[in-house]
Amino acid sequence: MRVALNTLGCRLNEAELENWSNGFQRLGYSITKQTADADLIVVNTCAVTKEAVKKSRQLLRKSHRLNPQAKLVVSGCYGTLDPEAVNGIDGIDLLIPNKDKDDLVKIVSEQLFRESMPLMATEAGETPLFSRGRNRAFIKVQDGCRYRCAFCIVTVARGSERSRSPEKIVSEINLLASQGIKEVILTGVHIGGYGSDINTSICDLIQTVLSETDIPRLRLGSIEPWDLGDDFLKLFENPRFMPHLHLPLQSGSNTVLRRMARRCLVEEYEKLISEIRSSISNFNLTTDIIVGFPGESDKEWRDSLDFIESCEFSHIHIFPYSQREGTRAAISRDQLSPATKKARTQELHALALQSRQSVLNTFKGLEFPVLFENSFPDDIRQCTGYTGYTSNYLKVKVMSNSELSLENEIVPVRLIKFDETSNMLEAELLC
């Protein structure tokens, strides 16, 4: 029995696919990257924006078209929020809502394959990370969110906060480390809320992972700025905890932030990132920005751009506001026109590129360890190129004449220059 696992959307969806992969393998199923070869196709959908819903529908239809004989199972936020629409798509055999997705493997096996269960099970992780050549793994530590930002449909789709036990997380990371994985990213809907239901915290979890695993690199996914407690920055004293954070800002205007029901104003955000950068050398900061939130005036937009520019982000995830039924912002009468949102999105993209180039240029000449993930041939120079990420999450590329592969190796480099064509830093090997 061959299973193809596909996903759209966030890192949490990726982490769930990793768990399903291990679960199916424990029951004796094999994992395939080819949808057309699968006996079972599982799609983890997304609904964060209308565009994400559109892509989810397209992926479901494409999966059935490529392999109409396979069983097609749907989970994720789109399937949870609009089950009637999903069940109306041709070829859907089973819809598993978010509340049941931790039991997806069991439900699928019992409801779809009871009569054709494999005779022998295999060890979990026989096909680590879907055999996709991945060097980093996403670890789901919690689900759900206690907050209700005015724009967010994900908290509606994911429900209340639920934390995984530290023991299960540590066990998963140790399994991945035994398979050769060298970097893990802790992820969830509201990472900063981890442990609120089991009498612990995200800081305690990070300390536990660092003390009870040998994973060389540990990162966090997106974490809200108001969730960084007094002792959080001390965690970076351990060199295995990587000096990068993705702190969602969403807007650089306080009045817009209040309408969004955000819990961090620009002055607090500015103070926080100033403290981080003064405490941790070569720290790298990335963020999310929503463009065209209902009622966003020209002045609010200009104020937002000015503040965003002052923050010096190396990367900005830009989201034109998407009206999602079931959120408070969706019923606002002050919806902006598509033309206004498009123009502002283009303006922010230009600023983001300028900010990225400026930030990356400040790292020129510095030395960093890089985990190389992919290789590519350079026929002109008769050598092999490699791409990977520095400890502070800067993407770099190097050229190597050596016959030894650098993939999945952590190697020191010196950063040379920013390459506009590839939108990454060029580096030279120091070994």
Q: Topology of domain 244-362, per CATH?
A: Transcription Regulator spoIIAA (3.30.750)
> pLDDT value at position 154?
87
> pLDDT value at position 121?
37
Q: Do the two domains 135-242 and 244-362 of this chain adopt the same fold?
A: yes
Contact 191, 220 (CB under 8 A): yes
Q: How many CB atoms lie within 10 A of CB 69?
A: 9
Would you give the end-to-end CA distance of the chain in angstroms? 45
Diameter over CA atoms, the chain: 66
**pLDDT tens figures, 304-353:** 999 999 999 999 999 999 999 899 999 999 999 999 999 999 999 999 99
- In 3D space, the residue among 144, 140, 146 whose CA is nearest the CA of residue 159 turns out to be 144
> pLDDT value at position 117?
45
Cα–Cα distance, 311 to 308 (Å, whole number): 5
> pLDDT value at position 329?
95
Q: Give the pLDDT band (50/70/90) at residue 115.
A: low
Residue 346: half-sphere exposure toward Cβ, Cα within 13 Å: 5
Q: CATH number for 2-116: choose from 3.40.190.10, 3.40.50.12160, 2.10.109.10, 3.30.420.40.
A: 3.40.50.12160
Question: pTM to 2 decimals?
Answer: 0.86
Vertex 307 angle, CA 368 and 345, to 5°:
90
Q: Topology of domain 367-429, per CATH?
A: OB fold (Dihydrolipoamide Acetyltransferase, E2P) (2.40.50)
Cα–Cα distance, 395 to 79 (Å, whole number): 34
Cα–Cα distance, 191 to 206 (Å, whole number): 11
Q: Topology of domain 135-242, per CATH?
A: Transcription Regulator spoIIAA (3.30.750)
Higher pLDDT, 379 or 82: 82
**pLDDT tens figures, 215-246:** 999 999 999 999 998 899 999 999 999 999 99
Sketch the domain layout of the chain as residue ranges.
Answer: 2-116, 135-242, 244-362, 367-429
